[in-house]
Chains A and B, each alone.
Chain A
Amino acid sequence: MDIGLLGQYLANGVMLGTMYALVAVGFTLFFGVLDVIKFSHGDVLMLGSFTGFTVYIGVLAMGIENPWLMIAVILLVSIAATAALGALIARYLVLPLKSAPPLNILLITLMLGTAIREAVRLFYPDGSNPKAFPVLLPTASVDLGGFALRADSVILVGAGIAVIIGLNLLINRTRLGLAIRAVAQDEETAKIMGINYTMIVLVTFAIGSGAAAFAGIMNGLYYNEVNFGMGLLLGLIGFSAAIIGGLGNIYGAILGGFLFAGLQTVGAVALPFASAYKDVFAFGVVIALMAWKPTGLIAERSSDRV
């Protein structure tokens, strides 16, 4: 294999890894604070990118031409919208079921994801067909020994990594992050210490969902396409990534995201007869990893109380 093609695969893998890590971080945040899986995460992401698309049409109609300004508005609105949606989901679907069996929350959010997906398909104008997401980033490219490194990929990966680092700093260095970690560690004690529990849970869900919207816009800008079904696969990949990394651990989520992207890329490269099998291969490896390390690579520190 020539070095140019390898570079192309590597660039693509890093891109996907950043995106998956962003989704996985959301799953891990939710699991951290509440010990729940919010499976509608992928569809919230899809909704974020559709919001972005709608805002783009609106902004275009208002006559704003500057692409950077456009991206800023798109990001702002869709992140705000999904953050609000995430908080609403937490308030009305997740918190009321907190004392029910934990699988019920997985089920209710799975169903919510289906509902969001179907609602977009049925009620968004022409929602069942893919939409062409606009090209807003500069597409100039540098030739690096046989493969073209495009400026938009670099910007997207850079922004994605910046968001991940930002989230990490937020969790580990701020007062809000301290509160989130306190709630994650021990709900009761956190309450006694005067932390507004409900507020922290809602804020965490808003942050995670906002990160998903960012990943959704990133996905739209990279593939120049959004469709109603993209959330299911991305959500599942993010969930798998968070799980193989180890739930509740932000580094695990990042590791898992890049690992999954690596698996897909290796699958595409190493199965020469059919790169279409790359998802089959990647999910197959995830299942095998689960058999080997049932609680993820960086295991959750917990013990069962009998």
Chain B
Amino acid sequence: MKDKTTPKTGWLGLPPLAVGLGAVAAIVVFGWQFLLAESEIAVLGLVALAALGGWALGKTGIQDSLNEAMRSHNRSMNGAILLGLLAVIFLLGEEHFPLLMLTTMLLYMTVALGLNVQFGLTGMVNFAGAAFFGMGAYTSAVLTEHTAVPPLLILVAGGAIAAAIGFLLIVPVVRTAGHYSAVVTIAFGVLFKTFLEVNDVLGGPQGLMVGPMKLFGWDFNSSPMLLGMEMSFYANYALLGGGLAVLAFVLTQRLERSWLGLTLDSVRLDETASACFGLNVVRAKVLAFTFGNVLAGVAGALYGMMISFIAPNSFTFADSLLMVSIVLLGGLGSLWGTALAAAIVVLLPEKLQILQEYRFLLFSGLVILMLLFRPQGLLPRKVRSYFPSWRPQQ
């Protein structure tokens, strides 16, 4: 291990900010090429490159510089990452499928961030993530097809419905602990999908059509023109999905860093002790559960509008497990880990069509290995630092 005192200059004597910006640029180019790669050889090559890069990050000390850059140049780095996301969307401009994948990944990441607050911070595992995601999607289907509610409000409505139905579950989830609360959410996830399948009003197993997103009169299913180039209409959704994911990320990060996040952490670590110190355990659990469900509902509503057709089979228990896998692979409570794992879990099987059929097998195997050998996840959560500007003395 490198020594923990942070040097003023990072890797190869470069200032940490330069290393950080370079890394963001590299990730942008990589993501762009990865999403565009067509042949399996190219995809495999890029995956190998990423694995090698990840390994090298730790070995060469670039990671320490990156951490330093994230800590001391937080604003610049966040701005760079935001610009990088925009750059990827514009670089992919005309490509339908890569943009669809990118948006799906961003929406899954939003859901997984919510699940991370429930599971990673508060310790309440929710095995009905796909069900809450589906509630958002079905809300948007019903509202776009039968009412004239402005679509932006429909996103809010998706979150509200997910929260409202989540409230029905709150009593059993909050009163029970551990295994008992797991069975409540598992039963609910299975119940939800069975309900959709046998219910004729909501389209039964055939599913429903969903109307497009419209924002201030702009129809998201029409292609925007930019710099004389006709972009894919998915670029609209990618931008909005990106906005949603960024918003979710910022909210989750703020929540984690606040006293509320501290409360959630202490509830996870020891409920009885937290209660003894005067923390309101029930309130903390209700807050975390609702926060996660709202994120899932909003993301689901946008997802429904984007793919314009939804069926119960997209919201099965296996999908909920995939969402929990994202949280576990990334690392409990680790937000950047969630982002990375969402990219792996969503993009990899889409790019490697051989894997598509095997994805549930592959990821369940991967999570088993992860739980056995690296339970802290790919990017483990750091120990909370109470004073963000505090530095160890040299």
Binding site for B on A (CB under 8 A): 31, 37, 93, 96-97, 100, 102-104, 106-108, 110-112, 114-115, 117-119, 122, 232-233, 236, 239-240, 243, 247, 274, 276-277, 279-280, 283-284, 286-288, 290-291, 294-296, 304, 306
User: Would B361 and A122 count as touching, CB distance under 8 A?
Assistant: yes
Which single residue of chain A is at the shortest CB-CB distance from B177? A294
Residues A290 and B198 in contact, CB atoms below 8 Å apart: no
Q: Are A283 and B360 in contact (CB under 8 A)?
A: no
Of B317-325, B337-345, B380-388, the segment with at least 4 beta carbons within 8 Å of chain A is B317-325
**Contact assessment for A118 and B358 in the assembled complex, using a CB-CB cutoff below 8 Å:** yes
Q: Is the CB of B372 within 8 A of A96?
A: yes
Residues of B contacting A286 with CB < 8 Å? 183, 187
Q: What per-residue 1/0 map shows which CB atoms of B172-212 lie under 8 Å from chain A?
A: 10011111101110111011001100100000000000000
A46 shortest CB reach to chain B, Å? 15
- The contact of B361 among A107, A114, A277, by CB within 8 Å, is A114
Q: Which 9 A-B pairs have the closest CB atoms?
A: A276-B198, A118-B361, A291-B172, A111-B364, A114-B364, A283-B191, A290-B172, A291-B171, A115-B364
The residues of B that contact A118 with a CB separation of less than 8 Å are 358, 360-361, 364
Task: Evaluate contact between B178 and A103: CB separation under 8 angstroms.
Answer: yes
- Candidate in B169, B187, B188, B317 with the most chain A CB atoms within 10 angstroms: B187
Distance between A186 CB and nearest chain B CB, rounded to angstroms: 20
Say whether B372 contacts A108, CB under 8 Å. yes
CA distance A166 to B368 in the complex (A): 34
Which A residues touch B180, using CB under 8 A?
243, 247, 290, 294-296
6 contacts between A and B (CB under 8 A): A108-B372, A112-B364, A115-B368, A118-B358, A239-B183, A247-B180
CB distance from A145 to the nearest CB of B (A): 32
Residues on the A chain within 8 Å of B318, using CB:
114
Whether B368 pairs with A108 at a CB distance below 8 angstroms is: yes
A93-B184 in contact given A280-B191, A280-B194, A280-B198 (Cβ < 8 Å)? no
B357 within 8 A of A: yes
B interface size (C-beta, 8 A)? 43
Residues of B within 8 A of A306 (CB): 272-273, 276
A243 B183 Cβ-Cβ under 8 A: yes
Closest to A112 in B: B368
B368 pairs with A106, CB closer than 8 A = no
If over half of B's interface residues share one DSSP class (helix, strand or loop), that class is named, otherwise mixed; here it is helix
B184 contacts A287, C-beta separation under 8 Å: yes
Taking a contact as CB atoms under 8 Å apart, the answer to whether A111 and B321 are in contact is yes
B143-179 CB contact bits vs A (8 Å, 1 = yes)? 0000000000000000000000000010110011111
Is the Cβ of B324 less than 8 Å from the Cβ of A107? Answer: yes
Q: Which residue of A lies closest to B276 (CB)?
A: A306
A108 to B375, CA, bound (A): 11
8 Å CB interface, B322-353 against A: 324-325, 328
B53 at the interface (CB under 8 A from A): no
**CB of B365 within 8 A of chain A?**
yes
A-B contacts counted at CB < 8 A amount to: 122
Q: How far is the CB of B290 from chain A (nearest CB, A)?
A: 17
Q: Which residue of A lies closest to B366 (CB)?
A: A111
Contacts A103-B182, A107-B324, A291-B171 given; does A93 touch B361 at CB 8 Å: no
Contact of B191 among A103, A239, A274, A284 (CB under 8 A): A284
Name the B residues within 8 Å of A97 (CB-CB): 371-372
Residues of A within 8 A of B358 (CB): 118, 122
Q: Which one of B127, B187, B357 contacts A287 once the chains associate, using CB atoms below 8 Å?
A: B187
Interface status of B367 (Cβ within 8 A of chain A): yes
Q: How many angstroms between the C-alpha atoms of A102 and B365 in the bound complex?
A: 19
**Separation of A286 and B190 alpha carbons in the complex (Å):** 12
A247 adjacent to B179 (CB under 8 Å): yes
**How many angstroms from the CA of A92 to the CA of B184 in the assembled complex?**
28
Q: Does B125 contact A (CB under 8 A)?
A: yes
Partner of B179 from A37, A117, A119, A291 at Cβ < 8 Å: A37
Complex CA–CA separation, A111 to B190 (angstroms): 16
Q: Which residue of A122, A232, A274, A295 contacts B198 across the interface (Cβ within 8 Å)?
A: A274
The answer to whether B328 touches A232, judged by C-beta atoms less than 8 angstroms apart, is no
- Distance of A276 Cα from B178 Cα, bound (Å): 31
| Bound Cα distance A31, B183 (Å) | 14
Chain B residues closer than 8 Å to A295, beta-carbon distance: 176, 180
In the complex, what residues of A have CB within 8 A of residue B367's CB?
Answer: 107-108, 111
Name B82-108 residues within 8 Å CB distance of A.
Answer: none
Provide the residues of chain B in CB contact with A274, threshold 8 Å. Answer: 198
A103 and B125 in contact, given A93-B368, A108-B368, A108-B371 (Cβ under 8 angstroms): yes
Q: In the complex, A232→B317 CA distance in Å? A: 9
Q: CB distance B375 to A104 under 8 Å?
A: yes
Contacts A118-B358, A294-B175 hold; do A283 and B328 have CB atoms under 8 A apart?
Answer: no
A294-B176 contact, Cβ under 8 Å, with A103-B125, A287-B184: yes
